[in-house]
Amino acid sequence: MEPVLPCDAVPGRALVTGVAGFIGSHLCDALLHRGTRVVGLDRLPPDRGSAAANLRSSLSHPAFDYVRADLRYDDLATAVAGADVVFHLAGQPGVRPSWGEAFPEYLTCNVLATHRLMTECERQHVPRLVLASSSSVYGQIAAGDRCREDAPARPVSPYGVTKLAAEQLCLAFARHPTAATSVVALRYFTVYGPRQRADMLIDRALRAALYGAPLRVFGDGSARRDFTYVDDVVSATLAAATAEAQAEVINVGGGRSVSVTELLEVVGQAAGVSVPTSSTHAQPGDVGATLADPRKAGEILGWKPHVDVTTGVSRHLAWMRQHAPDSPDTAGEAAS
């Protein structure tokens, strides 16, 4: 079995898949700041749209190389070569669209692509792969209950099924007696912050407050989420690169659950105006609550969250006031 990096080591070279995305771009910035040489892989063109915006600082950094490739089809050998750690953040997101005709995209992006990447990591003896998973693998929990990593995983959406499948696939590789690549799968709980996808709740709520178009709320506002600020998620992800582990699943969540109604009050206080809303029925795959048990993250990663929802929303709002377009579409999700 190949040794992992010491816990206090800074990876000399890292591959980040999904680097043009929300979390991937923040992780890339943090790695470059720490002195790591980063290969960023994404299927998006780096000079257009969200990729160009998210990677604005990284693209000009001398220690950053962008590889435009599709994990499902393209050769991965060069991108993986020499990596001390691979951060696998690429995937097809979104609970509600996974019920429809787009499911083959979820299957190929979240499962088959992961298999191809894990196979290449094993072939090249990459010491560690850190997998971005999701709290969606847990499914429905009782109000007030905390999700523990050893609890049964019962996803209630096709998206959650594919994330659980990706987890189990990577762990199967890592548990093999001759495994060269160890795996830490991180179950992220409702990540938010600057560069968040525009279809997610906090981004939508802030836009509704700023621009006045009503936010469509699915359900009665009682759905609860464990919101986790992106800086906290990045610090946990960095810690997972060097933690003592062979095949682990770890929650990354703030450990506090906030209802949609409560969140809209926080957004309104930050923006200085109430969030206009309209209501519709709950959607298939939406769970009533998520709440992380963060103890394992503390034990293995030495991690705890530092940014509460009030602070995080204020930071997100300040960024949005600088970067948001003048007239965004604000109708949309409110229970993601």
Residue 137 resides in a domain: yes
CB 90 within 8 A of CB 109: yes
Residue 235 resides in a domain: yes
Check whether residue 83 and residue 152 sit in a common domain.
yes
pTM, whole model, 2 decimals? 0.93
pLDDT for 142: 77
Check whether residue 113 and residue 245 sit in a common domain.
yes
pLDDT for 9: 66
Check whether residue 210 and residue 105 sit in a common domain.
no
- The Cα–Cα gap between 132 and 236 comes to 11
Per-residue pLDDT tens digits of the chain, which is 336 residues long:
333 444 456 789 999 999 999 999 999 999 999 999 999 999 999 998 999 999 999 999 999 999 999 999 999 999 999 999 999 999 999 888 999 899 999 999 999 999 999 999 999 999 999 999 999 999 988 777 899 999 999 999 999 999 999 999 999 999 999 999 999 999 999 999 999 998 899 999 999 999 999 999 988 889 899 999 999 999 999 999 999 999 999 999 988 999 999 999 999 999 999 999 998 887 776 788 899 999 999 999 999 999 999 999 999 999 999 886 554 454 444 444
CATH number, domain containing residue 197: 3.90.25.10
Token digits of residue 196? 């968040």
Give the helix ranges, DSSP H, for the chain: 22-34, 49-54, 77-80, 103-107, 113-123, 158-175, 201-211, 230-240, 260-271, 295-296, 309-323
Looking at the structure of the chain, the number of domains it has is 2
pLDDT for 183: 98
Residue 331 resides in a domain: no
CATH number, domain containing residue 87: 3.40.50.720
Q: Which amino acid is residue 21, in one-letter code?
A: G
Check whether residue 82 and residue 207 sit in a common domain.
no
CB 205 within 8 A of CB 221: no
Length of the chain: 336
Contacts of 95 by beta carbon, 8 Å cutoff, 6+ apart: 136, 157, 159, 160, 283, 285, 286, 336
Check whether residue 202 and residue 102 sit in a common domain.
no
Check whether residue 161 and residue 140 sit in a common domain.
yes
Domain interval for residue 50: 13-189+230-252
How far from 107 is each of 79, 214, 238, 257, CA to CA, in Å?
Answer: 23, 34, 27, 30
Check whether residue 167 and residue 26 sit in a common domain.
yes
pLDDT for 325: 58
Q: Which of 66, 106, 159, 192 is catalytic?
A: 159
Check whether residue 219 and residue 236 sit in a common domain.
no
Q: Which amino acid is residue 174, in one-letter code?
A: A
CB 257 within 8 A of CB 314: no
Check if 73 is active-site.
Answer: no
